[in-house]
Every structure is written in C-alpha cells, then in structure tokens.
Structure 1
Amino acid sequence: MILNNEQIKRLYGQTARFYDIALLGYRILGVTKHRRRAIEMLRLRPGDTVVDLGCGTGANLTLLIEAVGDSGRVIGVDLSGAMLAKAREKADRAGWANVELVEADLVQWTIPQGTVGVLATFALEMVPEYDPVIERLAGELLPGRRLSLLGLKHPEKWPEWAVKLGIWLNKPFGVSREYERFRPWQSVEKYMKTVEFEELYLGAAYRCTGERRP
C-alpha cells in the first residue's frame, strides 16, 4: 500500500520514539559512510545553506553541520511533527543555533533562495510525486548546484525470498511492494546532469547526485 500524507504522519508519529534505535541496523551495515559521501558530493563550504528533505529525526544533522559550520544554515524539512521534535532535541542538545526545522509537504515546499545544495536520504523513493519534486528542484537550484539522493531501491538480482524479507524488515518505515517502481534517480537523470550514480548493497539501495545544468 502506498501511504498518503495522513497515513505517513500517523505511522511516523508512532515510530518516532524508537526510530533512531531502528536505524542501528543500517549503521551496522555502514550507511553512515554513504550519507557522508552524499553530502560530500554537494561540495558544501562553511557559510552555505543546505536543505535536508525528509530529514526525520535528524540523522544527517551532524554531518551537515560539519560541512557548513557555525556560519552556515541547515534547513530540515519533514511531514511528521513527531520526527521533527526528535530532530529539535538533537539540535538543542548540541547547541546548533543554525538549524531550522520545517514541518511541510515536500511536494509543495520550495527551497529558499541561496540554497547551495539539497539532500534527501531514504525520503524521495517513498514520495509518489517524486518526479515533479525533482523537476522543481532542478529549476530552483542555481546552475552548478547539486541534489544528492540516498535511498532504497528494488534489488532486481535478489532472490524473491530475500526481497520479501527486506520488505518485512523495513515495514516499520512504511516500505511495501508498491514502491518498487519508484525510481527517483531516473528523474535526476531526466532533469539534471547526473554526476554520480552507484548501486549499494547488491542493488538494494542507491546513491545519486545530480547537478543543475547551465
């Protein structure tokens, strides 16, 4: 089943309290290095403004703050207020005054002027309208600026039993069979210049970076 906005809010309202614990398995598999690589590909510098779409509980905040420094600006956007509350707790504990968190629908929200890079990790492949979102981002970013994606994908070469197991393990995050056809990296290729694409975990995930064409 593909979730609508209200179902997403309800699901993540329930999972927000243990979401970070559930991510431990991904960290053991080394997902942090792929988050870091996706951010590196944005070519951020101290003082830059960066947007984290579908920021959740703030898994990328530390890495983004490292990239833009105290003089930069990190804007996290998410549909779930419960997830953003957890992200705010992290920012407050760390004393990051330059973190702004916005509760909004990614389909309707537009990036502020001066945004240098946009990041989305484990987010857009769960948004049915990902294609117009990426098309809009390609128009809003200045030439040479980048969008980096990291997310799950259908592992075409996996045996069926392994695919079913992976879906079952990720069910708490809203993953279902219906999302198999969602391919945000193809929209990046359509509307931007793809500067990096890599399949991860034997095709079960991907990392992709697109650059606004001149």
Structure 2
Amino acid sequence: TEAGRFVCVLGRNGAGKSTLLRTLAGLLPPLAGFVRLQGDEVSRLPAAERARRIAVVLTERASSPGLTADDVVALGRQPFTGWTGRLAVEDVARITSAFERAGAAAFRGRLFDDLSDGERQRVMIARAIAQDARLLLLDEITAFLDLPGRVEVMSLLREHARTAGATVILSSHDLDLSLQLADTIWLLDGQGGLVTGTTPELVAAGAIGRAFDTRDVVFSERLGRFELRSSA
C-alpha cells in the first residue's frame, strides 16, 4: 500500500486480522507466497534491519516490571543505538516527540506497570512512533480505550501516517470509526478473501454488508452505518 496512508483491517472474529498483521510483521510465515517491504522479502531481513523498518504493537497486555514509561519508549530507538543503548541528542528528541504525538507525555517518569491498560497502549504507540519505521502494524490497540480515546488514537495514527510518510495498518473491531477515519479499508471475509478500497468504494460494492450483516444487524448503505434490523 502507499506511504502516508492509514489502513484499517476489518473482519469478523476469527477472520484472520491478527494473523495477517503478524504475517506482515514477519512473526508468522506466510501460508503461501511471501511478504515484500520496499522490495525486500521480510522473512529474509536481519532482525535489526526489520526493526528499523517495521514497528509492531500487539493486542496482548504489555508488562515491563521496573521500567518507566520513558524506558519503554526509549526501546523504540534500540535499532539505531547499537549494543550500547546510549541515546544521542536526536534519539532523545524523537522520544520526546513520540510521547507528545501519542498523547502520552503525562505518563513520563511513571512506572509502566502502574499505568492503566489504556495508558499503557498510548505508551506502546509512542514507542512505535519513536522507532521511526516506515511501516506501523497495530493489532486491536484501541480495545482498552473509551470512545473519545479511540477517536483520538485513530486520528493521531492517521496524522502520523501523513506527517511521517509512513504506512500505518491497524486491525480493529471498531467498524464505524474505521469506516470514517481510514484512508483505505482491508476487508477480510473470513473465507480467505480480501477486499480493499476506500469506504465509499466498499459501500457501493456492497462488500461491508456481505461481510457483517446478520439476522439482527444490517449495514445501511444510505446512512453509512450499522443498524438493527426492523422486526416488522
């Protein structure tokens, strides 16, 4: 996909969203074919080079005993600091900027494990931003946030894609927000199929309804949102 784009991966539970992201990250082998990034096969990249190009935030509850939020975000610079881990002036500046972009500056100096789940996710986003990778892969990271928090995080990810020229790919269960905020939708049908396009393109093709309509819920193409089916 193009640089500077915010992509949301949608699909029902079990459709393969997390598997897709882990495969793109090189954490799982492809079932067929291969994954290329900037012309290079991801599975063949040395770990350090892969870390310079790909930042990953997974859905698992992160824990870093004894580390502060600053320590965790500083780990995003590890691919560039070498074995010494010594931060240069540029590294410190990128860490500060990442905290601000992720809305996590208020957590600086606090122990990571003392933060709430939502606060931890913001710190993990800051770490990914500090990594300065061309590709950010984020798996269900808004699950711990309330609605205003989800809007804020998805908006900042879209803004980061545009300002940094990065590709940001987020798997999400938040269908309505994804359809409103994503530049591109990757829609998994749960049967091995993938449909891509803008929200208007997928709505016009009826792809969203085919993927998500149930006996009780239907996607309204006219209104652009999900509604309960009428019992009449």
The reply to whether TM is greater than 0.5 is: no
Give the TM-score category using the shorter length.
Answer: 0.3 to 0.5
Question: TM-score by structure 2 length?
Answer: 0.34
Asked which structure has the greater RCO (Cα within 8 Å, sep 6+), the reply is: 2
Larger Cα-atom Rg: 2
Question: TM-score by structure 1 length?
Answer: 0.36
